[in-house]
Amino acid sequence: MKLTFVTGNTHKFREAERILKEYNVIIGRKDVNCEEIRSESCEEIALTCLRLLRRKVNKPFFVEDSGLFINALNGFPGTLSSWVFKKIGNGGILELLREKQSRDAYFLSAIAAWDGGREKVLTGKVDGHISLELRGKGFGYDPIFIPAGSDKTFGEDEKVKFLCSHRRNSLRKLAEWIGR
Ligand code: ITT
C-alpha cells in the first residue's frame, strides 16, 4: 500500500521512509501545516491533527507527534520539543540539567493513521538518558540522547538509532496494522 506521511520535518520523513521500506510499505511526503493543539499527550495531538487533515488529504496517510521527555524536568520538553529546540537547543537542555542528579529521559513517538476506512494511534518509546555534553550529529536532540544499553548518543551512532528508536517502534506497529 502507498501511504502518505504528512510532516514538515524532512529528517522524520527520511527515517520513516527507510524503516517502512523494510516492511514493504512505500511512503510519499506531503507538507501540509496542521495547527497543533496544546496537550501533554503526543497521542492526543497526533489524533487531533489526523482528524483536522482528513478534509485536506484524500488518501491513506499518517502524522506523527514525537518528543523528548526528561524525568528530572517533569517530562519537559515533552510535546513542546520542537518549539523548545528552536528556542534553547541542546545547549539549553544541558544547562537545565546541570545540577540534576538524574538524567533519565525517553523519546516518544505517536503515529495517527488513516487507511482510507479506519483510523488508529500507534506509539513507540525508547528509554535512555541525557549525555553530559553534545556528541555527534543527527537532528534535534540526537546529539544529547543516549539509549539504554549504549554509551553513544543517537547522533554518534546512526545504526543504533535506526534499530531501536521510538520511531522505529511506532512505525513497526504501523506496518503491522496496515498489513492486517
Ligand atoms: P511535524 O509536526 O511537521 O511532523 P516537527 O518537527 O514539528 O514536524 P514534532 O511536533 O513531532 O515534529 O516535534 C518533535 C520534536 O522533537 C522534533 O522537532 C525534534 O526536535 C524532537 N525529536 C523528535 N524525534 C526526534 C529524534 O528522533 N531525534 C531527535 N530529536 C527528535
Residues at CB less than 6 angstroms from ligand 1: 7-9, 12, 64-68, 81-82, 85, 107, 139-142, 154, 165, 167
Per-residue confidence (pLDDT) for residue 36, from 0 to 100: 86
**pLDDT band, very low/low/confident/very high, at 98 (cuts 50, 70, 90):** very high
SS3 letters across 94-158: HHHCCCCCCCEEEEEEEEEEECCCCEEEEEEEEEEEECCCCCCCCCCCHHHEEECCCCCCCCCCH
- In the predicted model, what is the mean pLDDT of residues 151-156? 98
127's torsion region: left (phi>0), alpha (psi -120 to 50) or beta?
beta
Sheet holding 26-30, edge to edge: 26-30, 2-6, 61-70, 104-114, 119-130, 145-147
CA torsion, ordered 134, 123, 8, 61, to nearest 10 deg: 160
Protein residue with least CA distance to atom 6, ligand 1: 9
Domain CATH code at residue 17: 3.90.950.10
Total tally of structural domains belonging to the chain: 1
Residue found under cell 488529504: 57
Q: Which domain holds residue 94?
A: 2-178
Mean pLDDT of the chain: 97
